[in-house]
């Protein structure tokens, strides 16, 4: 890599990129991204980069002299791209999707360009008010219970991730259960939380961070067929803790578990949680987006019993990472747990009580104007556009599930409620591993795995922004060939 230095004017007073330079290079970069999206199918989906190879191609020392933008872009092609796994490839079927889209990228660019730090309403009223409004729109689009809207006791906020959302939910629940005592005096032993064996690892991480500890988080059994939480097992676990003098305070129900897309029965789980006065948090990180389609709103049946809810627009709602929409039915415990007001943040707007200061709803103080990208996405697609693409993904996954059932070499290990197909080779784990390895080595698709009752399973997650029927058809061919 040869640093191509800028043509520095001898009398140049500043090293900053001027607005004119920004305009020129910005257009080049937008063109680069558009070209990338046009050719994204040509790259091997899973990066073939060996550990350390990206770093080895970078200079050991930072540049002393300014470099040209052309040199930077050249290194994006030569150094960065080989080390990229192409999450925006239409043949990316791994994990859960991390959607991107044109309006979202442009909204993110605008957010960066404005460079607003919206920790308080007063530090940029539009950053707060657009966020509140857009999250109310999203609540309407997903038909969330009215308590989650900002015009009552609750409201929504954009967090960086579902992990952070679950953490602040747990902290709010702890606040409510202890009347603020855990904030003042530290967490006493005996607070117990509950999630199914299939819940996301972020729930245990939250328990650790919030001082409940992994031991304070009870793993609740699931129904062996559906892998959904068994409400009777939850009841038994909570009753045992209550009888032993512990304080059951937090239950997480998952709408669409990461491994297999299992759906915890929200209503039954919520009724048990209520009996013990515990906070119900619903983690609908990916699958909550299905509720843009009225016919898929069954995923939220019983959600009115929840105290908090999270859906990641950055997973399956065409909005770039990071954009986790977190809602509470009553914001009091959340704000009381997280609000600390040093003198330097005092201002008349906050003191009037008429405004929202989102710094009190999350761990960091500083926050970007993330609502712009979600606002752009909701306006560009409209409800009609969102429904169209979510429906298309679900239909493609259902078609794939039917195809898998008809293949003698494959079996589906669990049901396919939405857009995740979980399959295994009938010859056992060795054959399933070979199937996975072969498909991934082809570079033409990327799949990841899970275990179902101890058996290795391949997950096919259909939710990429650009995924269409022809990509799923190509995947069928790959699977058929790899199955031998």
Q: Applying CB under 6 A, which residues contact ligand PLP? A: 96, 161-163, 200, 202, 254, 257-258, 283, 285-286, 312, 324
Which position has the token pair 């009553």? 330
> CA 483 → CA 402, 406, 421, 444, 457, distances in Å?
17, 14, 16, 16, 14
As measured in angstroms, the least distance from the Cβ of 465 to ligand PLP is: 17
Closest CA to 144 of 160, 157, 155, 133: 155
CB 257 → ligand PLP: shortest distance, Å?
6
CB of 148 to ligand PLP, least distance (A): 18
* Shortest separation between residue 286's beta carbon and ligand PLP, angstroms: 5
Q: CB-based burial of residue 1 (10 Å sphere; 0-12 exposed, 13-18 middle, 19+ buried)?
A: exposed
The span from the CA of 281 to the CA of 298, in Å, is: 17
Q: What is the largest CA-CA distance in the chain?
A: 79
- Are 169 and 175 in contact by the 8 Å Cβ rule? The answer is no
In whole angstroms, how close is the CB of 256 to ligand PLP at the nearest point? 6
Q: Is the CB of 444 or the CB of 467 nearer to ligand PLP? A: 467
Q: Return the number of the residue (123 or 164) whose C-beta is nearest ligand PLP.
A: 164
Task: Tell me how far, at minimum, the Cβ of 159 lies from ligand PLP, in Å.
Answer: 8
CB of 475 to ligand PLP, least distance (A): 21
d(CA 170, CA 179): 14
The nearer residue to ligand PLP, 286 or 457, going by C-beta atoms, is 286
Q: Smallest gap, in angstroms, from Cβ of residue 338 to ligand PLP?
A: 18
Contact 67, 7 (CB under 8 A): no
Q: How far is CA 382 from CA 35, 135, 279, 419, in A?
A: 26, 14, 33, 21
Q: Which is nearer to ligand PLP, 120 or 418 (CB)?
A: 418
d(CA 332, CA 433): 49
In the complex, the smallest distance separating the C-beta of residue 164 from ligand PLP, rounded to whole angstroms, is 7
What is the Cα–Cα distance from 108 to 32, expressed in whole angstroms?
16
Closest CB 45 distance from ligand PLP, rounded Å: 18
Q: Are 443 and 425 in contact (CB under 8 A)?
A: no
Q: Which is nearer to ligand PLP, 182 or 465 (CB)?
A: 465
Rounded to the nearest 5 degrees, what angle is found at the Cα of 214, between the Cα atoms of 213 and 217?
A: 95
**Residue 146 · residue 152 · CB < 8 Å:** yes
**C-alpha span between 300 and 283 (Å, rounded):** 11
Question: Taking the complex as a whole, how short is the minimal distance between the CB of residue 95 and ligand PLP, in angstroms?
Answer: 6
Cβ proximity to ligand PLP: between 192 and 254 the closer is 254
| Burial grade of 116 (CB within 10 A; 0-12, 13-18, 19 or more) | middle
- Closest listed residue to residue 249, CA positions, set 331, 338, 328, 173: 173
Task: Lay out the sheet containing 448-452: strands in order across.
Answer: 410-412, 420-425, 455-461, 448-452
From CA 394, how far away is CA 417, in angstroms rounded?
9
| Locus of tokens 């045992």 | 240
| CA–CA dist 260, 458 (Å, integer) | 10
The whole-angstrom separation of Cα 226 and Cα 260 is 9
Question: In whole angstroms, how close is the CB of 254 to ligand PLP at the nearest point?
Answer: 5
Q: Which is closer to ligand PLP, CB of 285 or CB of 482?
A: 285
| CB nearer to ligand PLP: pick between 111 and 324 | 324
């Amino acid at each position: 890599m040869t640093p191509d230095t800028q043509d520095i004017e001898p009398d140049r007073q500043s090293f900053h990129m001027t607005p004119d330079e920004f305009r020129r290079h910005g257009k080049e970069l937008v063109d680069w991204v558009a070209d990338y999206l046009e050719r994204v199918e040509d790259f091997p989906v899973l990066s073939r980069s060996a550990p350390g190879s990206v770093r080895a191609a970078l200079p050991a020392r930072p540049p002393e002299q300014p470099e040209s933008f052309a040199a930077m872009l050249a290194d994006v092609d030569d150094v960065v791209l080989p080390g990229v796994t192409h999450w925006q490839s239409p043949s990316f079927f791994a994990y859960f999707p991390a959607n991107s889209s044109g309006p979202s990228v442009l909204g993110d660019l605008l957010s960066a360009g404005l460079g607003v730090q919206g920790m308080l309403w007063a530090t940029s009223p539009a950053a707060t008010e657009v966020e509140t409004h857009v999250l109310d729109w999203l609540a309407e689009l997903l038909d969330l219970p009215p308590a989650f809207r900002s015009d009552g006791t609750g409201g929504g906020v954009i967090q960086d991730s579902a992990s952070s959302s679950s953490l602040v939910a747990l902290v709010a629940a702890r606040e409510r259960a202890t009347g603020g005592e855990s904030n003042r005096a530290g967490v006493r032993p005996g607070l117990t939380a509950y999630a199914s064996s299939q819940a996301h690892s972020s729930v245990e991480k939250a328990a650790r961070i919030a001082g409940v500890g992994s031991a304070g988080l009870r793993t609740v059994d699931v129904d062996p067929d559906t892998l959904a939480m068994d409400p009777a097992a939850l009841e038994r676990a909570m009753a045992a803790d209550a009888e032993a003098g512990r304080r059951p305070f937090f239950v997480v129900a998952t709408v669409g578990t990461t491994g297999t897309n299992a759906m915890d029965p929200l209503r039954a789980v919520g009724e048990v949680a209520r009996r013990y006065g515990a906070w119900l948090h619903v983690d609908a990180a990916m699958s909550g987006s299905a509720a843009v389609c009225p016919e898929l709103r069954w995923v939220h049946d019983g959600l009115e019993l929840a105290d908090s809810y999270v859906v990641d627009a950055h997973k399956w709602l065409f909005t770039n990472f990071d954009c986790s929409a977190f809602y509470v039915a009553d914001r009091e415990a959340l704000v009381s747990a997280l609000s600390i007001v040093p003198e330097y943040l005092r201002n008349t707007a906050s003191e009037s009580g008429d405004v929202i200061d989102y710094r009190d709803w999350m761990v960091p103080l500083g926050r970007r104007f993330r609502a712009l990208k979600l606002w752009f996405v909701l306006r560009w697609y409209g409800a009609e556009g969102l429904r169209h693409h979510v429906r298309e993904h679900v239909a493609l996954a259902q078609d794939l599930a039917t195809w898998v059932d008809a293949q003698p070499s494959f079996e589906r290990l669990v049901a396919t409620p939405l857009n995740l197909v979980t399959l295994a080779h009938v010859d056992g784990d060795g054959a399933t591993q070979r199937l996975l390895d072969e498909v991934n080595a082809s570079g033409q698709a990327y799949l990841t795995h899970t275990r179902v009752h101890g058996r290795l399973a391949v997950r096919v997650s259909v939710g990429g922004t650009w995924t269409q029927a022809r990509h799923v058809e190509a995947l069928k061919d790959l699977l058929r060939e790899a199955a031998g």
